[in-house]
């Protein structure tokens, strides 16, 4: 197929043409990262900009943009430049995107990723890049920080189990649900969520006779719905994005009548803000999480107003993804301010600043524990219909400063074991 | 295709080198020098990935191009080898991980992939055309969901992490440059194997089976055996690529073998061209570069549209993929004195 090159003695013109082609190809493929402009800090972001969690990832990116906009695009006297990486919620795609950001684009700091197992995978990668600092997006897998943490990975949002603080107790004692079945996606974040819910619910005396796990991106829930026990008082649903909408509408079509309890992202704005009938069944559903729509604190009101002003195509209120990415990015910018943008060497100055950072977010004070995981407020809420007909999460109660071990002694908490599909168990 | 005709015998090497054109030599030199000219990211992440995905698509090209069997289960075979590396080798998940040495794990994993390929072959040789596509896609999809939901063997959605390449001869084979050369060497062997097979009596029988199975049966060939053996060979190639893929990613999870990725391998083979074994590698080159850099070209919102459009344009301009494009361009690139020929 390449005999032609063997007769290279052709005219100058074709040689030239070949040389130009070769050069173009070479520069197109091999162009090295351009040297960084003086006074610029490159931050790479990881978010799910494709796949089932696309809308969530897009809202996460709005949070990053908002935080940087508030800082006027500067931190510690340096200009902030964002390089976006896209993942599809699979751990492999997260590592691939992270590698590109760090090794090709030459970012010095990484914000993200969004999803549970992505976080665990990026944590492993972070350990191989000790000179880069990673700040979480919204990954809520418990073991991102609880077990075997990476020294250069910081999480200024609370984890999936923390988000459930108080919900199990509330469902049993206030709502009066004694038996609850769970439906959740089959990966680490919902494991953490179910773990957090059951930690409170089982302790209060409740029983969970059946747990269903579905793959991310599942479209057909009929077999799951058919397998749900008839005698349960409520179904605990920890599904996200399109999965939540699909389950809720199919459950309704199948004539399901049980009450619902929401995982954190089940009745998030991504579901409440969508159109269609499925949204009416969720009215009265209790859930818990790091954000609540009608939070009446001035800080939240300002955050929500800024969000609405900046993003006409956004949700009616910032989702927890916008919030999580916002808080994590803001923490990073604040720390950069403190160290005057010094990200040289092993970035130990920046890490010290991050570790000691305690600041006020739209949802109250955030600080880190020794594993670099956030201690922050959690909101217990119920879905309600606003005067404008739109659904929102009405705050029932605020649980202040929840830590990763849910207030328990660390050794005792670790003894409960790794959250997975079989653990915990209270049939 | 000037190096395809390699007869056995003492003069084989001489003939081989006589037939090499300047183009091939330049290409070989470029491939060997490549990792020294670029950043480690390009050597490892881009170069390694192109060669690995190229090999998986090569196994598909062999079945589809010579055997007329479009199997969408090739990535699944690679995935099985990857999982086997994690299960029988070492991983950091705390499940399985028998810790066998690499020189057992590697051939064993490749063999498992090849045996599964034989099974898939036995199932799918009864079908042809679109039914082969459907049945192999069904196998691939079923394996994806099985791996996603099985926790005792495949560790569910999270899969296995902490898979590491061995250190042999004092070289850590996951360092960018050694890994690139490892992939390059394996890819060249696979490429040569497919080229050789195409001209061997087996390859000719396979192509004849593709063109007229009834006549082949009448002549006395065991058509099923020929096809299943082709699956076996494709399983060897895909399995080898799968082992490298596991080392490359350092992990294996169902996301690597999802339906989207399966279609990705088909896209690679189609945009590369199915007529010659170089096609899949060209396809992988375009595919990996687009997948990695489209987000820089057009931003985070619409980059998948751009990727789709580029693939569409390639297939639209040239139904034969990049290979066909090359054939079309060749007369224009030739020295003017040769144009008329």
Question: What does the domain layout of chain A look like in residue ranges?
Answer: 40-158+297-375, 162-295+378-415
In the three-class reduction of DSSP (H, G, I as helix; E, B as strand; rest coil), residue A87 is classed as strand
Q: From A19, which residue of chain B is nearest by alpha-carbon distance? A: B333
Contacts of A10 in chain B (CB under 8 A): 334-338
What single-letter DSSP state applies at residue A314?
S
Residues 212-231 of A with CB under 8 A from B: 213, 215-216
A208: which residues sit within 8 A by CB, 6+ positions away?
A: A179, A180, A181, A182, A198, A201, A202, A236, A425, A426, A427
Q: Per the CB < 8 Å rule, is B23 touching A4? A: yes
pLDDT score of B339: 46
- Residue pairs between chains A and B whose CB atoms are closer than 8 Å: 142
pLDDT score of B2: 43
Among positive and negative, which fits the CA dihedral B48, B54, B60, B66? negative
Q: What is the pLDDT of residues A181-234, one digit of tens each?
A: 999 998 888 998 999 999 889 989 999 999 999 888 888 999 999 999 988 999
Query: Rounded to 5 degrees, what are φ and ψ at A211?
Result: -125, 125
Nearest to A252 by CA among A223, A227, A226, A281: A281
Asked whether A202 and A177 are in contact (CB, 8 A), the reply is: no
- Dist. CA B271–CA B322, nearest whole Å: 6
A49: which residues sit within 8 A by CB, 6+ positions away?
A: A57, A58, A61, A84, A86, A87, B295, B300, B301
Asked whether A162 and A193 are in contact (CB, 8 A), the reply is: no
B16: which residues sit within 8 A by CB, 6+ positions away?
A: B3, B6
Ramachandran bin of A148, using left for φ above 0, alpha for ψ from -120 to 50, beta for the remaining angles: left
Cis peptide bond upstream of A168, omega within 30: no
- Dist. CA A375–CA A365, nearest whole Å: 8
Q: How confident is the model at residue B218 (pLDDT cuts 50, 70, 90)?
A: very high
Q: What is the pLDDT of residues B124-147, one digit of tens each?
A: 988 888 899 999 999 999 999 999
- Please tell me which residue, A34 or A363, carries the higher pLDDT value: A363
- Dist. CA B71–CA A282, nearest whole Å: 45
- Dist. CA B142–CA B211, nearest whole Å: 31
Nearest to A186 among B149, B296, B330 (CB): B149
Asked whether A58 and A114 are in contact (CB, 8 A), the reply is: no
Q: Per the CB < 8 Å rule, is B158 touching A117? A: yes
CATH, domain range A40-158+297-375: 3.40.50.2300
Q: Per the CB < 8 Å rule, is A96 touching B45? A: yes
Report the complex ipTM: 0.79
The answer to whether residue A3 neighbours chain B at the CB level (below 8 Å) is: yes
- Please tell me which residue, A9 or A19, carries the higher pLDDT value: A19
Nearest to B151 among A49, A121, A421 (CB): A421
The answer to whether residue B22 neighbours chain A at the CB level (below 8 Å) is: yes
Q: What is the pLDDT of residues B155-183, one digit of tens each?
A: 888 889 888 888 888 888 888 889 999 99
pLDDT at A97 over 60: yes
Averaged confidence pLDDT in chain B = 87
Residues 35-64 of B with CB under 8 A from A: 37-42, 45-46
pLDDT at A62 over 70: yes
Q: What is the pLDDT of residues A244-293, one digit of tens each?
A: 888 888 888 888 888 999 998 888 766 777 776 666 778 889 999 998 87
Q: Give start and end residues of each alpha helix (H) in A143-240.
A: 167-173, 188-204, 222-227
Query: In angstroms, what CA-CA distances link B51 with A58, B40, B280, B287?
Result: 33, 15, 9, 12
pLDDT at B337 over 60: no
- Most distant CA pair in chain A, distance: 89
DSSP B89-114: S--SSSSS-----HHHHHHHHHHHHH
Among positive and negative, which fits the CA dihedral A71, A83, A141, A134? negative
What number of CA atoms fall less than 13 Å from residue B297's CA on the CB side?
15
In the three-class reduction of DSSP (H, G, I as helix; E, B as strand; rest coil), residue A362 is classed as coil
pLDDT at A147 over 60: yes
Q: What is the 3-state secondary structure (H, E, C) of B142-160?
A: HHHHHHHHCCCCCCHHHCE
Paired tokens of A50 = 């494709």
Percent of chain B with pLDDT over 70: 91
The alpha carbon of residue B274 is apart from the nearest alpha carbon of chain A, in Å, by 14
Assign domain A162-295+378-415 to its CATH superfamily. Response regulator (3.40.50.2300)
Residues 133-192 of A with CB under 8 A from B: 186-188
Query: Rounded to 5 degrees, what are φ and ψ at A245?
Result: -60, -45
A335: which residues sit within 8 A by CB, 6+ positions away?
A: A350, A353, A354, A357
In the three-class reduction of DSSP (H, G, I as helix; E, B as strand; rest coil), residue A351 is classed as helix
Q: Per the CB < 8 Å rule, is B334 touching A96? A: no
Please state the rounded mean pLDDT for residues B235-249. 95
A108: which residues sit within 8 A by CB, 6+ positions away?
A: A41, A42, A43, A132, A133, A343, A347
Question: What does the domain layout of chain B look like in residue ranges?
Answer: 42-258
pLDDT score of A415: 86
Nearest to A188 among B158, B276, B278 (CB): B158
B341 CB-contact burial (10 Å; exposed 0-12 / middle 13-18 / buried 19+): exposed
Q: What is the pLDDT of residues B80-98, one digit of tens each?
A: 999 999 999 988 877 888 8
Residues 23-82 of A with CB under 8 A from B: 29-30, 32-33, 49-50, 61
Among positive and negative, which fits the CA dihedral A265, A267, A273, A277? positive
Q: Per the CB < 8 Å rule, is B336 touching A14? A: yes
Averaged confidence pLDDT in chain A = 85
Nearest to B158 by CA among A213, A209, A222: A213
Q: From B176, which residue of chain A is nearest by alpha-carbon distance? A: A103
Q: From A117, which residue of chain B is nearest by alpha-carbon distance? A: B158
């Amino acid at each position: 197929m390449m005999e032609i090159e063997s007769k290279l003695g052709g005219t100058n013109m074709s040689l030239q043409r070949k040389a130009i082609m070769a050069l173009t190809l070479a520069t197109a493929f091999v162009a090295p990262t351009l040297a960084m402009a003086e006074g610029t800090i490159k931050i790479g972001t990881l978010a799910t900009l494709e796949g089932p969690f696309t809308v969530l990832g897009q809202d996460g990116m709005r949070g990053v943009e908002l935080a940087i906009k508030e800082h006027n695009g500067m931190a510690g006297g340096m200009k902030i430049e964002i390089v976006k990486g896209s993942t599809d919620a699979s751990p492999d795609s997260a590592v691939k995107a992270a590698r590109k950001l760090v090794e090709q684009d030459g970012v010095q700091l990484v914000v993200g990723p969004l999803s549970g197992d992505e976080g665990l995978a990026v944590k492993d990668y972070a350990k191989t890049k000790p000179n880069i600092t990673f700040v979480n997006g919204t990954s809520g897998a418990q073991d991102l920080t609880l077990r075997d943490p990476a020294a250069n990975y910081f999480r200024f949002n609370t984890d999936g189990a923390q988000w459930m603080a108080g919900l199990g107790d509330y469902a049993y004692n206030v709502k009066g649900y004694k038996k609850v079945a769970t439906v959740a996606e089959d990966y680490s974040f919902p494991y953490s969520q179910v773990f957090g819910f059951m930690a409170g619910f089982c302790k209060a005396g409740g029983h969970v006779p059946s747990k269903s796990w579905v793959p991310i991106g599942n479209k057909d829930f009929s077999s799951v719905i058919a397998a749900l026990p008839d005698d349960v008082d409520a179904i605990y649903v920890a599904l996200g994005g399109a999965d939540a909408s699909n389950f809720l509408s199919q459950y309704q079509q199948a004539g399901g009548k049980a009450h619902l309890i929401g995982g954190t992202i089940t009745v998030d704005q991504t579901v409440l803000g969508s159109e269609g009938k499925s949204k009416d069944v969720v009215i009265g559903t209790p859930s818990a999480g790091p954000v609540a729509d009608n939070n009446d604190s001035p800080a939240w009101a300002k955050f929500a107003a800024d969000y609405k002003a900046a993003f006409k195509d956004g949700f009616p209120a910032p989702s927890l993804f916008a919030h999580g990415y916002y808080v994590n990015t803001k923490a990073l910018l604040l720390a950069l301010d403190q160290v005057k943008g010094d990200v040289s060497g092993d970035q130990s100055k920046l890490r010290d600043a991050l570790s000691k950072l305690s600041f006020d977010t739209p949802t109250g004070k955030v600080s880190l524990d020794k594993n670099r995981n956030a201690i922050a407020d959690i909101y217990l809420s119920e879905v309600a219909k606003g005067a404008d007909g739109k659904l929102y999460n009405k705050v029932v109660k605020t649980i202040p400063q929840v830590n990763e071990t849910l207030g328990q002694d660390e050794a005792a908490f670790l003894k409960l074991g790794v959250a997975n599909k079989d653990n915990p168990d209270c049939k | 295709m000037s190096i395809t005709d390699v007869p056995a015998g003492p003069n084989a090497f001489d003939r081989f080198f006589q037939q090499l054109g300047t183009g091939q030599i330049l290409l070989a030199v470029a491939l060997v020098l490549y990792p020294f000219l670029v950043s480690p990211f390009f050597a490892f992440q881009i170069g390694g990935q192109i060669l690995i995905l190229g090999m998986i698509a090569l196994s598909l090209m062999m079945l589809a191009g010579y055997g007329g069997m479009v199997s969408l289960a090739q990535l699944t075979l690679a995935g099985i080898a990857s999982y086997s590396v994690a299960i029988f080798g070492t991983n950091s998940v705390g499940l399985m991980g028998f810790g066998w040495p690499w020189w057992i794990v590697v051939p064993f994993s490749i063999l498992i992939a090849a045996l599964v390929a034989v099974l898939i072959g036995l199932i799918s040789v009864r079908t042809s055309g679109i039914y082969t596509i459907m049945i192999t896609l069904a196998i691939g999809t079923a394996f994806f969901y099985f791996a996603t939901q099985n926790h005792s063997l495949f560790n569910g959605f999270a899969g296995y992490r902490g898979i590491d390449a061995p250190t042999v001869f004092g070289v850590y084979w996951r360092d960018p440059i050694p890994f690139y050369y490892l992939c390059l060497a394996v890819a060249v062997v696979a490429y040569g194997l497919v080229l050789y097979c195409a001209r061997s009596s087996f390859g000719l029988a396979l192509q004849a089976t593709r063109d007229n199975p009834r006549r082949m049966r009448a002549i006395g060939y065991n058509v099923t055996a020929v096809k299943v053996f082709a699956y076996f060979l494709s399983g060897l190639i895909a399995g080898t690529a799968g082992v490298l893929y596991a080392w490359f990613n350092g992990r294996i999870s169902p996301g690597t073998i999802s339906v989207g990725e399966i279609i990705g391998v088909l896209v690679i083979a189609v945009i590369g061209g199915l007529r010659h074994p170089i096609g899949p590698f060209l396809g992988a080159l375009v595919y990996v570069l687009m997948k990695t850099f489209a987000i820089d070209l057009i931003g985070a919102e619409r980059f998948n549209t751009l990727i789709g459009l580029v693939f569409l344009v390639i297939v639209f301009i040239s139904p034969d993929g990049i290979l066909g494009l090359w054939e079309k361009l060749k007369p224009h690139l030739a020295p003017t004195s040769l144009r008329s020929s």
